[in-house]
Amino acid sequence: MDRTQAFRERLERDLQETQARIAQLRERLEAKGDYGPGRGDPAIFQWELNLAMLQQAEEQARQVREALGRLEAGTYGICQKCGQPIDEERLELLPLTTYCIRCAQSTRSGRG
């Protein structure tokens, strides 16, 4: 199996798992706690936590779809800043990354 196919399969699997998590979280959000004045419902905390996890999962799904789009376009694994190939080991650890290690470090330190 070539590198591109291996990354495609991993990203598609990640997307399926994320979509399943999104469906599960949406189901949990159907039951909302009581926000009435003077009344507190312990379920409110769990509902808000589920909402935050849903938002995070939706962002994850968006990033995976973008990575799959880059694979289709032939730009997956190419640094969006310098245009050089991203090290394969970095992609193994961070399959959604769009920066090589050098550009990621310079972006984080404020130099880029």
Domain ranges in the chain are 1-76, 78-112
The pTM for the full model equals: 0.82
Q: Is the dihedral of CA 73, 76, 81, 87 positive or negative?
A: negative
86/101 Cα distance (integer angstroms): 7
Give the single-character DSSP code of 84.
Answer: P
Tens digits of per-residue pLDDT, 52-80? 999 999 999 999 999 999 999 999 999 99
pLDDT for 112 beyond 50: no
**Contact of 22 with 57, CB cutoff 8 Å:** yes
What is the pLDDT confidence band of residue 4, given thresholds at 50, 70 and 90? confident
Interval 7-27: pLDDT, tens = 999 999 999 999 999 999 999
Please answer whether residues 19 and 100 qualify as being in contact, where contact means their C-beta atoms are separated by less than 8 angstroms. no
Q: CA 93 from chain center: how many Å?
A: 13
Give the per-residue pLDDT at 2.
Answer: 84
